Amino acid sequence: MMRERARAVLESVTSFWSGLRDTEFGGFYGQVDFDLTIHKDADKGCILNSRILWFFSNAYLLLRDQTLLAHASSAYALLKDSFIDKEHGGLFWSVTHDGKPSDTTKHAYNQAFGMYALSSYLRASGDEEAIGLIKELYRLIEDRCADWGENGLIGYKEAFSRDFSPAGNGKLSENGIMAEKTMNTLLHLAEGYAGCLQARPDPEIEKSLEKMLELYMDKVYSEENRRSEVFFDSSMNSLIDLQSYGHDIEASWLLDWCASFVDNEDLKEKVGRASLVLVESVYERAFKEGSLINERENGVNDLSRIWWVQAESVVGFIHAFKRTGNSKYMAAAESVMTYIEEKITDKRPGSEWFWSVGADGIPSRNPIANEWKCPYHNGRMCLEALRRLADD
């Protein structure tokens, strides 16, 4: 039953994003307002383009529909032709609708998603050109972003100007905090490196991923608080009392997946234990009225239901069910899927998912698509559910 529901959502998500392909300038349109106005002249964010590239590549790998690969190829062409900075290296934050540099910020988070997307496109298309681009981004991250101290790796520097001069990290900081380093970026750097290893074994990238996971377990995961800390200073000291339920449920399965690509059984076991702590913590603290609330700051819960948090909770609960056999997790996944179908899905023709639903049950009027609102979380939810429940 869950597989059929996931397939129906996947068809809806695929249809919406297929309709946003820009056949004139390449890639996909950068914004759709709440009123469903498509802004064909909006800037195109690299996060959005990379996630679209990732989604259509993986949808093709599952469904083998050549149209999906053609969509992926359009996003790939825009990435390599317009987003890559030919002068200083790395990926721009955004380009104009016709492919010229717009926001020239270089951010580690952005480079990570480029690697993740390119790796999936390599698997889908077999285009060996992608390997060179992946290795260029990997080398850039390790040379420009990796922050080494006397006692080893102390995280990754995140925000830079076009020429890689240090810049403020406003793009990945929230909750009134200006963080130099974030859990979010480290998690997705690990995801990007794991995606590379899924596409092609590489001992150097594997060793870097191993060090990332060790850093996450040492500095980000808090056994005492049963959560991942979120925002950090340059020395990886936590800056705020905050639990991001969405990131923790995402990390509960994603860290396990990342660890599967390293040859370190002790680390895999350590990550696996933390994974179960995180999912149980989220289940106890955030699973309310059949869905997941957003976060808890200084002891106060934010009761809004964010689109991507619901998507990641379905995957996280399915992952926990498959690992433990505890039926409460599968029941939770099914409950959240029902919430998605009834509350998060925008049933207007030509739409997709609302950004969020408030505690009052009213959807926010945020854009339906923009530089952050993409087919990555909800598309991945469908693909993971179909894959993980294939034998059920």
Q: Residue written as tokens 């997790």?
A: 329
**Residues shown for the chain:** 392
317 vs 259: CA distance, rounded Å: 18
Q: What percent of the chain has pLDDT over 70?
A: 100
* pLDDT for the residue numbered 312: 98
Please check whether residue 197 is in contact with residue 205, taking contact to mean a CB–CB distance below 8 angstroms. Answer: yes
Please check whether residue 72 is in contact with residue 56, taking contact to mean a CB–CB distance below 8 angstroms. Answer: yes
Q: How many Cα atoms are found within 13 Å in the side-chain-facing hemisphere of 256?
A: 19
Which run of H or E residues covers position 59? helix 46-63
Please check whether residue 209 is in contact with residue 262, taking contact to mean a CB–CB distance below 8 angstroms. Answer: yes
The per-residue pLDDT for range 288-312, each reduced to its tens digit, is 999 999 999 999 999 999 999 999 9
Q: How confident is the model at residue 52 (pLDDT cuts 50, 70, 90)?
A: very high
The per-residue pLDDT for range 204-250, each reduced to its tens digit, is 999 999 999 999 999 999 999 999 999 999 999 999 999 999 999 99
Please check whether residue 305 is in contact with residue 284, taking contact to mean a CB–CB distance below 8 angstroms. Answer: no
What is the mean pLDDT of the segment spanning 15-34?
Answer: 98
Range of the domain at 351: 2-388
* pLDDT for the residue numbered 239: 98
Residue 269 CB coordination number (10 Å): 11
Q: What's the structural domain count of the chain?
A: 1
The per-residue pLDDT for range 310-334, each reduced to its tens digit, is 999 999 999 999 999 999 999 999 9
* pLDDT for the residue numbered 151: 87
The per-residue pLDDT for range 106-150, each reduced to its tens digit, is 999 999 999 999 999 999 999 999 999 999 999 999 999 999 999
91 vs 81: CA distance, rounded Å: 11
**391 has a pLDDT exceeding 90:** no
Mean pLDDT, all residues of the chain: 97
Tell me the CATH number at 212: 1.50.10.10
> Which phi-psi region, left, alpha or beta, contains residue 31 (left: φ > 0; alpha: ψ -120 to 50)?
beta
* pLDDT for the residue numbered 238: 98
